[in-house]
Amino acid sequence: MFQPVYGIHRIMGAETEYGVISPDAPDTNPTILSAIVVNTYEKLEAKRTESLRRTIENNAQEAQRTRWSTESESPLTDAFGHTVKEQEAHASQLTHTRRELTSEDIALEALREAGIDGSQELIHGRGGYPERLDWDRVTMNAMLANGARLYVDHAHPEYSSPEVLTPLQAVLYDAAGDKIAYDSITEVAQHSNDNLPAIKLYKNNTDSKGQSYGAHENYLISRDIPFEDVASTLLTFFATRIIYTGAGRVGIGVNGEIPGFQISSRADFFERPVGLETTIRRPIVNTRDEPHANSERYRRLHVIPADANLSHYSNLLKFGTATLVLNLIESGRAPNLHIADPVTALHTTSHDLLLSAQLPLTENSDSTTKFATALEIQRAYLNACKSHEQENPTGVDNDTQQILALWEETLDALETNPLALADRLDWVAKYALVSSYVAKGVPYTDAKLKALDIHYADIDPTRGLYHRLVARGRMRTLFTSQDIEDAARTPPSDTRAYLRGTLMSRWPDEIIGINWDTVSCRGRYSHELTRLAMPEPTRYTQSEVDPLLPRVTHSDELLQLLQQNTTPHKDL
């Protein structure tokens, strides 16, 4: 059953929910603010797209809007083969039943939250809500020119990156999401005369009032591997990797009620080892089985216990180490090392700034002791990955070696001098800033430290503390601002995201429905839909699409030519 898997090439991607607020109108419904962010960016992209602009300028007829299709979504199916009935599921799980919200929907939701009767004032823009935004055409889902998705999820704007093949690409396209989000709120600010409220977005995971929002990873793994094997290994790995992926947080506990600092901003919100939910009773290993690809071949691992990272290095370690550990699992080489209580271990590790807490192991673990620190556990995974990758008959490639070397260098520094990583890891950088105030006598309960925590996560490159550290050379980066801007406009060339991005750039007004693995188009002079299924994520790349572009003038023609192309997909 097990076949050796080597290297860091794997289909993966990131999802980020941004904290959202209007400083001038802090009571504004977050769903409205999130809708403004998504709607504004879609319009901003439309301005950059010649075909859509031509349609708008001609004004002969209203351009049809691209609709997000939910046909391949199955959020109630889990990896153990069970499907939760819709009537038994929490409302937050029913993502496949959502529709575009009308002005009345949005207004009524805000009214319900405020305990107010009637909707006319809000619908017509009074009561502090924007009157100049065309709420009858509000977009809650937008596919972007770089192959990503921007949408409203649980009252937050969420960016889902395009599929990529390497951890380094995953970091780049995740950073592109921050650029996209910032462009949107900048555009909103430029239209303040239209009564649009100024909006701030934060790449963090909690409002410190008991609410948490996610920063998720996604990896395609082999359907042949029993999910029990996946879960048992990842519980121990995820509970301890926060020592280099954590974003840091002022305050301990769900509400941050205990004074202090912790490594992970998200850890305190997890309550059980394994489960299907993502917003309630949060599990360390999520069992959602929704591959958005060939379901006979792939399983999508939906990872939810991660922190939102601004640091390129924290993010690279997050994607890179997870990819290498998945290689171990698929190859049957995962170490037999299991924490007895993963949830408690996750909390303990987050609160343990000295990285010395002894975590109880299960009796069947291959260990000479019954306890191990998070550092020791991560070192065991590193050594297992090094041994495995060195057995690759073709040798260890440079990209894989980069991850292994960075992992080892980081663990060495965490063991001897964690503050040496203040220029690479989010939690250490934030802790260094906080500690400088604490050393001067500022208590952890002081509002200044809470504000510092929030301002670190501000995505505004002119104001966010992370970005100020970068500007002053105190935080290392892997990409230039131009690299990130290019990724915000251009899809990756080696996955099906290239086709989606190309369609959105060239023919946005011809796309009727689109999602990760399906697209339906109608050419301007066509009566019938052309639908293309994309079950293999490594198909419909630049090498397959670009040679056909000189032969077509409309989207459906391109799809028809691609349907005729029987070139086999590329194995990873």
Is pLDDT at 230 greater than 50 in this prediction? yes
- Count CB atoms within 10 A of the CB of residue 231: 21
**What does the alpha-carbon distance between residue 541 and residue 497 come to, in Å, rounded to a whole number?**
7
CB under 8 Å to 44, separation ≥6 — which residues? 183, 184, 187
Give, in degrees to the nearest 5, the angle at Cα 310 between 307 and 316: 80
Secondary element (H or E) of residue 17: strand 12-17
Same domain, 455 and 537: no
CB under 8 Å to 174, separation ≥6 — which residues? 14, 16, 161, 309, 315
**What does the alpha-carbon distance between residue 248 and residue 261 come to, in Å, rounded to a whole number?**
7
Q: Helix, strand, coil proportions of the chain in percent (round to 5)?
A: 45, 15, 45
Can you tell me which residue has the tokens 């060939």? 294
Give, in degrees to the nearest 5, the angle at Cα 131 between 127 and 132: 160
pLDDT at residue 67, rounded to an integer: 63
Do the beta carbons of residue 180 and residue 488 sit within 8 Å? yes
**What does the alpha-carbon distance between residue 38 and residue 106 come to, in Å, rounded to a whole number?**
14
553's tokens: 């003038």
321's tokens: 């180490």
| Long-range pairs for 375-381: beta carbons < 8 A, 24 or more residues apart | 375/243, 375/411, 375/414, 375/415, 377/236, 377/237, 377/240, 377/337, 377/339, 378/240, 378/241, 378/243, 378/244, 378/407, 378/411, 379/411, 380/335, 380/337, 381/237, 381/321, 381/325, 381/328, 381/335, 381/337
* pLDDT tens per residue, range 507-521: 999 999 999 999 999
Same domain, 401 and 435: yes
Range in 102-106, 194-198, 511-515, 554-558 with the lowest mean pLDDT:
102-106
Is pLDDT at 164 greater than 90 in this prediction? yes
More confident residue, 94 or 540: 540
Is pLDDT at 59 greater than 80 in this prediction? no
Q: Where are the alpha helices (DSSP H) in 82-226?
A: 103-114, 120-123, 167-190
More confident residue, 360 or 288: 360
Same domain, 244 and 308: yes
Do the domain assignments include residue 84? yes
Same domain, 404 and 513: no
Same domain, 559 and 412: no
DSSP codes of every residue in 499-552: HHHHHHHH-GGGEEEE-SSEEEE--TT-SS-EEEE--STTSS-HHHHGGGGGG-
| Long-range pairs for 407-413: beta carbons < 8 A, 24 or more residues apart | 407/244, 407/317, 407/320, 407/321, 407/324, 407/378, 407/382, 408/382, 410/244, 410/313, 410/317, 411/244, 411/375, 411/378, 411/379, 411/382
More confident residue, 506 or 106: 506
Range in 35-49, 75-89, 143-157, 314-328 with the lowest mean pLDDT:
75-89
pLDDT at residue 140, rounded to an integer: 80
CB under 8 Å to 422, separation ≥6 — which residues? 428, 429, 431, 432, 474
- Count CB atoms within 10 A of the CB of residue 225: 18
Amino acid letter, 143: M
Q: Which residues pair with 15 in a beta bridge?
A: 160, 216
Do the domain assignments include residue 572? no
What is the rounded average pLDDT of the residues 149-176? 96
Is pLDDT at 104 greater than 50 in this prediction? no
257's tokens: 């009620």
Do the domain assignments include residue 541? yes
* pLDDT tens per residue, range 431-482: 999 999 999 999 999 999 999 999 999 999 999 999 999 999 999 999 999 9
Do the domain assignments include residue 485? yes
**What does the alpha-carbon distance between residue 566 and residue 572 come to, in Å, rounded to a whole number?**
18
Do the domain assignments include residue 176? yes
Give, in degrees to the nearest 5, the angle at Cα 278 between 305 and 11: 65
Is pLDDT at 551 greater than 70 in this prediction? yes
Same domain, 9 and 47: yes
Do the domain assignments include residue 569? no
Do the domain assignments include residue 193? yes
Of 466, 493, 520, the one marking the end of a domain is 493
* pLDDT tens per residue, range 394-423: 999 999 999 999 999 999 999 999 999 999
* pLDDT tens per residue, range 168-206: 999 999 999 999 999 999 999 987 666 678 999 999 999
Do the beta carbons of residue 558 and residue 504 sit within 8 Å? no
- Count CB atoms within 10 A of the CB of residue 279: 17
How confident is residue 123, by pLDDT bands cut at 50, 70 and 90?
very low
Segments forming the whole domain that contains residue 500: 494-564
How confident is residue 73, by pLDDT bands cut at 50, 70 and 90?
low
Do the domain assignments include residue 105? no
Of 456, 472, 493, the one marking the end of a domain is 493
Same domain, 74 and 147: yes
Same domain, 446 and 509: no
pLDDT at residue 138, rounded to an integer: 60
Same domain, 311 and 248: yes
Range in 136-145, 302-311, 419-428, 518-527 with the lowest mean pLDDT:
136-145
pLDDT at residue 112, rounded to an integer: 47
CB under 8 Å to 566, separation ≥6 — which residues? none
Highest mean pLDDT among 27-31, 125-129, 194-198, 504-508: 504-508
Q: Which residue in the list 153, 178, 517, 556 is annotated as catalytic?
A: 153
pLDDT at residue 192, rounded to an integer: 66
Same domain, 151 and 286: yes
How confident is residue 132, by pLDDT bands cut at 50, 70 and 90?
very low
Q: Look at the chain and report how many structural domains it folds into.
A: 2
Closest CA to 526 of 552, 506, 550, 544: 552
Can you tell me which residue has the tokens 């301005």? 47
What is the rounded average pLDDT of the residues 319-345? 97
Of 493, 518, 550, the one marking the end of a domain is 493
Same domain, 523 and 455: no
Task: Answer left, alpha or beta for residue 156, where phi above 0 means left and psi between -120 and 50 means alpha.
Answer: beta
What average pLDDT is seen over the chain? 87
What is the rounded average pLDDT of the residues 245-256? 96
pLDDT at residue 25, rounded to an integer: 86
- CATH number for position 343: 3.30.590
Secondary element (H or E) of residue 58: helix 50-58
Give, in degrees to the nearest 5, the angle at Cα 523 between 520 and 527: 90
How confident is residue 60, by pLDDT bands cut at 50, 70 and 90?
very low
Q: Where are the alpha helices (DSSP H) in 301-425?
A: 312-330, 342-351, 374-389, 398-416
Same domain, 159 and 194: yes
Compute φ and ψ for 431, nearest 5 degrees. Answer: -65, -40
Give yes or no: 153 in active site: yes
